Amino acid sequence: MMWSLAGVVVLSGFFAALELPSLKGQKKERWTFWLLLILSTGLGMAYVSKLTIPNPLELIAFIFKPIGYWLHNVLPPAK
């Protein structure tokens, strides 16, 4: 497992070294790149460590299910 974690970090460093020269002078794109690289590295390390990664659809369902129930009770039935 230790080698897998090291591999994720090495690959992330490789992709950073590969992409950063093309982002020179583009501040917003560079911030976005770093944010996504750190997020994907963390998810990759969690996956390699066999941690439970939550499904993003569960969060969406958690947010919108009460709204759907509320709309069902507020709006009249369709004819």
Mean pLDDT by 10 residues, the chain (79 residues): 93 94 91 95 94 91 94 85
3-state secondary structure the chain: CHHHHHHHHHHHHHHHHHHHHHHCCCHHHHHHHHHHHHHHHHHHHHHHCCCCCCCHHHHHHHHHHHHHHHHHHHCCCCC
pTM for the full model? 0.70
- Output the pLDDT for position 77: 80
- Output the pLDDT for position 10: 96
- Output the pLDDT for position 39: 95
- Output the pLDDT for position 8: 95
Residues with Cβ within 8 Å of 19's Cβ and at least 6 positions away in sequence, in order, are 33
Domain ranges of the chain: 2-54
Q: How far, in Å, CA of 25 to CA of 47, rounded? A: 33
